[in-house]
Amino acid sequence: MPQAIRNLAAMGVQMNRMTVIPDPKTRLRLQPLSRLTGGPRWQVEAMRSLREPMLLWFTQGQGRITVAGTTRGFHAHNAVFIPAGVMHGFTVTHKASGSVLLFGSDCALAWPRAPLHLRLREKMAQTELTAIIDNIQRELDSGRRGAMTAAHHHLGLLSVWIDRQVSEREAEAPPTPHRASQKLAARYAALLEREFRSGFGVADYAAALGVTPTHLTRACKASAGRTALDLLQDRRLFEARQMLVSSSAPVKEIAQALGFSTASYFTRSFQHSIGQTPSAFRRNRGMPPGR
């Protein structure tokens, strides 16, 4: 690990000693995509991460999804696997439906370490994935003895299915344009996810990655269609909104936890980007004014 990254991480640890809301332990669960897209848009569109792997299975509609600093379009019969701790967010441009499979924070199965975006054109692959998801749903809904154990066995079959899809596609994958930009954007997204509470700016991250801020921003634009600053601000403000609606922590404490120099600077930044003060956002439970 380069010394610049070690220094960045060490300084971030000192600042991260402020209050951070821990994620509760979670179990395997399956929910319709509409449950995610039916709430405030920021809950799916803003950059965030989970402490558990997840699979998005789109069966209808289309949109754009950003995972690990790379933005791609999605449409029906796309499956997107996102490992735990990987920054992501997506936008639905036409009404999308499908399933969201959350593996649980205690999932002990082996999964790919990198995100996957599978475009399933073959009917057999679509049928296999649908059958696995349906079987998991059937067990989780059954309430029968051993239902969770059975659901986890089906999850094991999903891990085999994903491994087969990856191995079958490796040989046929064409060269990807902007590959160097995608690699740098992915490194930035991973570092940003670890250190976004530190209060550091784009120049600090660029130095840690051994590039100039201009080069980092150019890579993010090519890979994700957004600047390095956009990704940084989006990630910090998602966390701020999440903390405001899920805790009673004072605004000053949230500002400190996210690395803002002062509570007033945090309030100005939040209001400029979100259109409400942190206190108003909390009163409205994360919804736009008037709803």
Phi and psi, residue 102, nearest 5°: -105, 125
Task: Give the tokens for residue 248.
Answer: 């009673």
For residue 140, what pLDDT is reported? 96
Of 198, 233, 264, 202, nearest to 89 by C-alpha is 233
Domains identified in the chain and CATH numbers: 26-170 (2.60.120.280), 179-283 (1.10.10.60)
Alpha-carbon Rg for the chain, nearest whole angstrom, is 20
What does the pLDDT read at residue 285?
A: 83
Q: Which two tokens stand for residue 234?
A: 């989006």
pLDDT at residue 20, rounded to an integer: 44
* 73's tokens: 């379009």
Residue 135 to residues 31, 139, 155, Cα–Cα distance (Å): 13, 6, 9
| Predicted TM-score of the model (pTM) | 0.85
Which residue, among 204, 144, 153, 208, has the nearest Cα to 3 in the 3D structure? Answer: 208
Encoded tokens for 195: 């250190």
* CA pair distance 208, 190, nearest whole angstrom: 12
Cα dihedral sign, 18-19-25-30: negative
Secondary element (H or E) of residue 146: none
Tens-binned pLDDT, residue by residue, of the chain (291 aa): 455 555 554 544 444 433 444 556 789 999 999 988 888 889 899 999 999 999 999 999 999 999 999 999 999 999 999 999 999 999 988 788 999 999 998 888 889 999 999 999 999 999 999 999 999 999 999 999 999 999 999 999 999 999 999 988 765 555 555 789 999 999 999 999 999 999 999 999 999 999 999 999 999 999 999 999 999 999 999 999 999 999 999 999 999 999 999 999 999 999 999 999 999 999 988 877 655
Alpha-carbon span 143 to 175, nearest angstrom: 47
CA distance 105 to 54: 10
Q: 81 is written with which tokens?
A: 């696997």
Residue 130 in contact with residue 136, Cβ under 8 Å? no
Name the token pair of 244.
């405001």
Q: List, in order, residues 6 or more apart from 214 with CB less than 8 Å away.
A: none
Contact 56, 37 (CB under 8 A): no
Q: How far is C-alpha 252 from the chain's CA centre?
A: 26
* SS3 of residue 170 by DSSP: helix
